[in-house]
Amino acid sequence: MARSDYFEELERLKRDTLRMGELAKQAAENAVKALVKRNAELASEIIRGNIAIDELEFDIENRCMKLLALQHPLASDLRTIGTILKIITDLDRISDLAGDIANIVLKIADEPFVKPLIDIPRMSETAQGMIEDCLHAFSTGDIKNLMNFSERDDLVDALCDQVRRELITIMIENPRTIRNASHLLFVALHLERIADHACNIASRIYYMVTGERRKFE
């Protein structure tokens, strides 16, 4: 592979990683939208869309491995490829968690919620903002919006704890709500994990840009 082809392929990998990130972000955003609107059709679309994200992850991984084997990249290029290999795993997990939420929507779309959905949309909004800032930092190298990720993750954790306490109280007071409340609890837990994966991605991008390790959690 000529060096010009190498640099072109590296840019293609970056673009495809950003495309995978946008797909994962959209899936997570739409999953909560489907929950709020009880939209079973949208939930089904999210589940079907996970196949394309899985295929994209496999393709990106294979191409990264070929570049590593054939071109022996150094310095910032090596960090970029290593970062891509790491973050596509987190992006795939985000899309999987979105699919898990979508499956919950299919189970309870016709049921009234045991409590108003106030904190779950707030969790989703915060997590989506984190993913968006990760994609921007990966694209531009501007990491300033990553620096408060630990605080944003703490906010998502606090909202998840609040949802957990409220739902457990509801289940104790009325055992007939256990099924519905349990599903909403899992939605909150899935959103908490999505924010955790965004923190993982932010840590890897920080390393890609600076060459220094920093853990966001």
Q: Does some domain include residue 217?
A: no
Which of 3-12, 105-114, 156-165 shows the highest mean pLDDT?
A: 156-165
Averaged pLDDT, 71-84:
90
CB proximity list for 50: less than 8 A, separation 6 or greater: 27, 95, 96, 98, 99
- In the predicted structure, residue 124 carries a pLDDT above the cut 70: yes
Q: Does some domain include residue 216?
A: no
Note the pTM of the prediction, 2 decimals: 0.95
* Mean pLDDT for all residues in the chain: 95
pLDDT category at 2 given cuts 50, 70, 90 is: low
Q: Does some domain include residue 122?
A: yes
Per the structure, the complete domain to which residue 39 belongs is given by 3-210
Read off the CATH number of the domain in which 81 is found. Answer: 1.20.58.220
How many folded domains does the chain comprise? Answer: 1
Which pLDDT tens digit goes with each residue over 32-69? Answer: 999 999 999 999 999 999 999 999 999 999 999 999 88
Q: Does some domain include residue 215?
A: no
CA dist., res. 53 & res. 55, Å (int): 5
Residue 214: left if φ>0, alpha if ψ -120 to 50, beta else—which one?
beta
